[in-house]
Amino acid sequence: MLHKGSAEAWANGPFAKFFEGLLGSAPAYRDCWYSGDMEGKVLMALGIFGQQLIVDVKNDIVVAKTSSMESPMQVEKTRLQTAAFQEVKRVLLSS
């Protein structure tokens, strides 16, 4: 993923709407990783039942979330988790 994913594959895939507005303006996907930009500065991996791993390569920040949600994929909770990462990142970078 650090060496470019496929914006076309992303746009044609089932999760394009799911991540709209969360990862950046040019999301991409490769090898089970999602990215918000084609440069791969922020990468995200998702597991079922709420597991999530977000890596901000540029700022050396890694956030891992373990979980056992009641269903395999919950759009709103995943969106909230991703927004929480953005807030944690903002706080870490402002200190």
- What is the full per-residue pLDDT of the chain (95 aa) written as tens digits? 566 667 777 778 777 777 776 666 667 777 778 777 656 688 888 888 989 998 988 899 999 999 888 888 888 888 888 889 889 999 999 97
Please give the DSSP secondary-structure letter assigned to residue 1: -
Give a yes or no: residue 86 inside a domain.
yes
Instruction: Please give the model's pTM, rounded to 2 decimal places.
Output: 0.76
Number of structural domains in the chain: 1
Q: What is the CATH number of the domain that holds 61?
A: 3.40.710.10
Q: How much is the pLDDT for 35?
A: 79
Give a yes or no: residue 1 inside a domain.
no
Q: How much is the pLDDT for 66?
A: 92
Nearest to 30 by CA among 57, 53, 14, 7: 7
Give a yes or no: residue 68 inside a domain.
yes
Q: How much is the pLDDT for 88?
A: 92
Give a yes or no: residue 45 inside a domain.
yes
* Range(s) of the domain holding residue 15: 7-94
Give a yes or no: residue 2 inside a domain.
no
Give a yes or no: residue 18 inside a domain.
yes
Our measurement of the distance from residue 86's CA atom to the centroid of its chain's CA atoms, rounded to an integer in Å, reads: 10
Q: Give the C-alpha distances (Å, rounded to integers) separating 85 from 3, 43, 82.
A: 23, 12, 5
Q: Which residue has the tokens 């009641």?
A: 70
